[in-house]
Amino acid sequence: MAISPAEVEEEVAEDSALAAFSTDSPWITIVWDDPVNLMTYVTHVLMVLFGYSHEKATELMLKIHNEGKAVVNSGTREESEHDVARLHEYGLWATLQRSGT
C-alpha cells in the first residue's frame, strides 16, 4: 500500500499544528512598563513572586522602566500562564509568549 503525497502533507501539517501548541516548549513571562505602579512596588512584587534578590529585582525593574519590558521568568506554558495571572493580581501588566519568537 503506497502513501499518497497528500497524506504525507496532511501528516506534516498535523505534526506542525501539534508542535505549535506543545506545552513542552519554553515560554517566557514578560512584564511591561506601565504609568501606574511605582518602581519600588515593581521591585517588591518581583522579589515576592519569584524569590529574586533585591539586586536582581531592581535590575529587572530598571529594564522594564528603561526598555519598556523585561523577561522575568521562563518555563512551561502552564507555569507562564500562572505567573501572568499572579502578576495581574498585583496590578502589573504581564504577558506570555513562546521563547524565541
DSSP for 46-84, written as a single string: HHHHH---HHHHHHHHHHHHHHSEEEEEEE-HHHHHHHH
Considering the domain boundaries, does residue 10 fall inside one?
no
Q: What is the pTM of this model?
A: 0.76
Give the CATH number of the domain where residue 46 resides: 3.30.1390.10
Look at the alpha carbons of 78, 45, 70, 68 in this order and tell me if their dihedral is positive or negative. positive
Residue 2, all three cell numbers: 503506497
Question: Domain range for residue 71?
Answer: 24-98
From residue 39, alpha-carbon distances to 13, 58, 62, 76 in Å are 46, 8, 8, 28
Q: What is the pLDDT of residue 11?
A: 63
Q: What is the pLDDT of residue 68?
A: 98
Q: What is the pLDDT of residue 35?
A: 94
Considering the domain boundaries, does residue 11 fall inside one?
no
Considering the domain boundaries, does residue 17 fall inside one?
no
Q: Which residues of the chain carry a pLDDT beneath 50?
A: none
For the chain, the domain total comes to 1
Considering the domain boundaries, does residue 48 fall inside one?
yes
Considering the domain boundaries, does residue 19 fall inside one?
no
Q: What is the pLDDT of residue 100?
A: 84
Predicted confidence (pLDDT) per residue in 16-30, tens digit: 555 555 556 799 999
Considering the domain boundaries, does residue 6 fall inside one?
no
